[in-house]
Amino acid sequence: MTQDINVLFLSPGGLGSGEIINAVIVADQLRKKGAHCSFLTFPYGAQFIKPSNFDCTILGSDKSSNIEAMKKYIAHTCFDAVVIADYYLFQVGNILPRFLWIGWMADLDIPILSFDSLYLGREFPEFAYIMNPTFYPQPKYNIKFRVPSFVKPLIYPAPPFTTPQDTGDKCGRLYEESFLGYKRPPSGKEEIGISPEEKLILHIIPKWAARTVMEGSLLHFPGYYSMLAALLMHQLKNLDENIHIVCINPANTTLYTQKDTIKATEMNFLPFDTYMKYVMAADLIITDNILSATTWKAVVHRVPTLVLGNSLRARDTSKFDKIREAYTVSSEYMRIIRHHLQDSSQHLPILSFWSYHTNLFRSMDIGKTFLIQEIFDEKGFLETLEKVLVDENFKRKLRKNQDEYVRKISRIPTMAEIILSIAQNGNSQKKR
């Protein structure tokens, strides 16, 4: 029966890789169970799909042409389910029309599902428009974008693990492996050319985040990532450790320079398999993306992860005075901040979703499995780096929290099992 199941994945993403990689992971699990999976996507997503040898049709930028291509593709193959990864991506970026254009799928006699990796639920929330109007269009006539009722269910990936907002929705384990008792490969660093004596810090900059601060029309911070790198280097030089920073940097600007006991390597892109070797070999993963899919991969592989961000808002005072009001900052630390943010707006840089999702994740099961740190809190930033890189007792406690989290999510079905169950049910009804 399983070999008769055909599942189509529709990936509208073009700003980041997390959603499309999750879709490939789930499709691969379905393939191992005997199902046939294929993809409709855009050029950016295709580079993550093709190495896994799935049938992949690439869409263009014209809405009408895309709709016709999708209709022909679906009519050519009798699909048992369509999985959108993720629906909210239809509302972001410039490559896609900024309004709903899958309404015709309501007439298909097959289940339409979607992942909901950001927990936006069935309504695309108002804060998304406010935080980043360049990417998120204003709702017409004060009507917010909603996931259509014919898209059933939304599947919430675990990690991060949360309670679905609708009784018809599901929470599914992203990884087929349980990761119980997982031990990191001892030779991981040598395999990627890093000395075992060096602390490997993997700094990941998402494509969408780099574009936000470089091209944002409302909040423009061209020096943000160079500042982040300089502040990190300033903190790490206070640690008596040999450190090798590997930065995945999609921007064209070099951020790191080798200094004293700190080595630095920058890469624009890594194939997923190679990327995961770096993740599993890392002593610490650093990101400023509170929504990073890599954070969740790191947690189940027991890799310490630090999410950096800023919750200060410079409204009544200048941005630099706001920092001094909130934290005790050395003259050198402030000099770095001023140097890199002098050409920015009067606001302090806040990436989309930071405040909302920081509070959300702290209240969830996964909240104890990774670290969150304010970048302008000089003292707190250094203390956090010391704990996660040097303090063995702290690292054991973090590992214990990660172990407990993995035990929790190992009890729920995988996303692939949920999709297969729905597809098989639809398939059996069609054959009656």
Q: How far apart are CA 20 and CA 12, in angstroms?
A: 9
Highest mean pLDDT among 99-108, 151-160, 239-248: 239-248
CATH class of 188-409: alpha beta
- What value does the mean pLDDT take over residues 34-57? 89
- What value does the mean pLDDT take over residues 425-429? 61
Cis peptide before 413 (omega within 30 of 0): no
Strand ordering across the sheet containing 81-84: 55-58, 36-41, 6-11, 81-84, 112-115, 151-158, 170-173
Quickly state the pLDDT bin for 369 (edges 50, 70, 90): very high
Mean pLDDT of the chain: 84
Kindly indicate whether the domain formed by 2-176+412-430 is annotated with CATH number 3.50.50.60.
no
Strand ordering across the sheet containing 262-267: 262-267, 243-248, 199-204, 284-287, 305-309, 371-374
If you search the block for the tokens 């007439």, which residue do you land on? 107
Element (H or E) spanning 262, and its range? strand 262-267
Res 142 pLDDT > 50: no
Quickly state the pLDDT bin for 361 (edges 50, 70, 90): confident
Q: Which residue has the higher pLDDT, 154 or 100?
A: 154
User: What confidence tens digit (pLDDT) does each residue in 305-332 have?
Assistant: 999 999 888 776 788 999 999 999 999 9
Res 358 pLDDT > 90: no
Q: Which residue has the higher pLDDT, 380 or 144?
A: 380
Q: How high is the pLDDT of residue 95?
A: 45
Res 46 pLDDT > 90: no
Q: How high is the pLDDT of residue 426?
A: 65
User: What confidence tens digit (pLDDT) does each residue in 84-111 have?
Assistant: 988 777 665 544 444 456 778 888 989 9
Q: Rounded to two decimals, what is the model's pTM? A: 0.83
- What value does the mean pLDDT take over residues 234-256? 92
Distance of CA 363 to the CA centre of its chain: 19
The encoded tokens of residue 352 equal: 């989309």
Res 248 pLDDT > 90: yes
Whole-number percent of the chain with pLDDT over 90? 44
Burial of 334 (0-12, 13-18, 19+ CB in 10 A): middle
Q: How high is the pLDDT of residue 143?
A: 43
Q: Which residue has the higher pLDDT, 332 or 131?
A: 332
Q: How far apart are CA 213 and CA 421, in angstroms?
A: 42
Res 18 pLDDT > 80: no
* Rg of the Cα atoms in the chain: 22
Q: How high is the pLDDT of residue 168?
A: 78
Res 383 pLDDT > 50: yes
User: What confidence tens digit (pLDDT) does each residue in 347-357 have?
Assistant: 788 776 677 77
Structural domain spans, the chain: 2-176+412-430, 188-409
- What value does the mean pLDDT take over residues 379-402? 97
Res 373 pLDDT > 60: yes
